[in-house]
Amino acid sequence: MPTARVALRRVVFPTNLGWMAMAGSGDVLWRLVFGHRSVAAAERALGPHWLERSRSVAWNAALRRLLQRYAAGQYIEFDEVPVECGASSEFARRVLQALRRVGYSRTTTYAALAAEAGSPKAARAVGNRMAANPIPLVVPCHRVVCSSGRIGYYSAVGGVATKRRLLEMERRCIAGLPPVQTTMDTRHANMNAPARH
């Protein structure tokens, strides 16, 4: 979590993956949530710490546009986006750095990430870190699957169904196929609406 002296900003905006909310400071992303049915739900999902400590402003329009394009099924890499994931240990930092190198439409396993982070027997710890990822999509925890071939868990709204949808959306984009129709309830979200702040 950022210190009290950091000037935090937040913004909520519509996407084809539901309402997203993000918070950060300067151009650094600290928190991202998606898949929500309303502005209020997206803001609540940020958590009380972020709502109490951040100002709602028109923040980071470039990243907002990238996330909207990604949610629409376009090929977007987020590896240049500066992030602060609150990694509490050197192992956690190495895991998140390795995960950010997993490219669009590719997958890795919990065990492979553990090995790349220097602790080959720590697949379960990698899974725990993925479940606590504060910046899904940008730090692509949906691209981590089980060595057994199972898809594994996903802690974002919609759980495993959302993880499958994201992987399929990326696969279709790489194959040149049209995007999958959204299953998120965005009936009340005008995708051309300005961000809420």
**Poorest-confidence range of 8-22, 32-46, 84-98, 164-178?**
84-98
164 touches 145 (CB < 8 A):
no
Strands (E), 1-98: 8-13, 19-25, 28-36, 54-56
- Quote the CA–CA distance of 111 and 123 in Å, as a whole number: 5
Give the containing element (helix H, strand E) for 109: strand 108-109
Would you state the pLDDT for residue 2?
Answer: 58
Would you state the pLDDT for residue 34?
Answer: 98
For residue 197, the one-letter residue type is H
**Poorest-confidence range of 80-84, 119-123, 180-184?**
180-184
Q: What is the DSSP string of 114-145?
A: HHHTT-TT-HHHHHHHHHT-SSTTTS-GGGEE
Q: How far is CA 51 from the centre of its chain?
A: 18
pLDDT in tens, 96-131: 999 999 999 999 999 999 999 999 999 999 999 999
Query: 187 pLDDT exceeds 90?
Result: no
Give CA separation, 48 vs 52, 88, 90, 152, in Å. Answer: 6, 21, 27, 28
Q: At what angle do helices 123-131 and 90-100 cross, to 10 degrees?
A: 80
Catalytic annotation, residues: 141
Query: 189 pLDDT exceeds 60?
Result: no
Q: How confident is the model at residue 195 (pLDDT cuts 50, 70, 90)?
A: low
**Average pLDDT across the chain, whole number:** 90
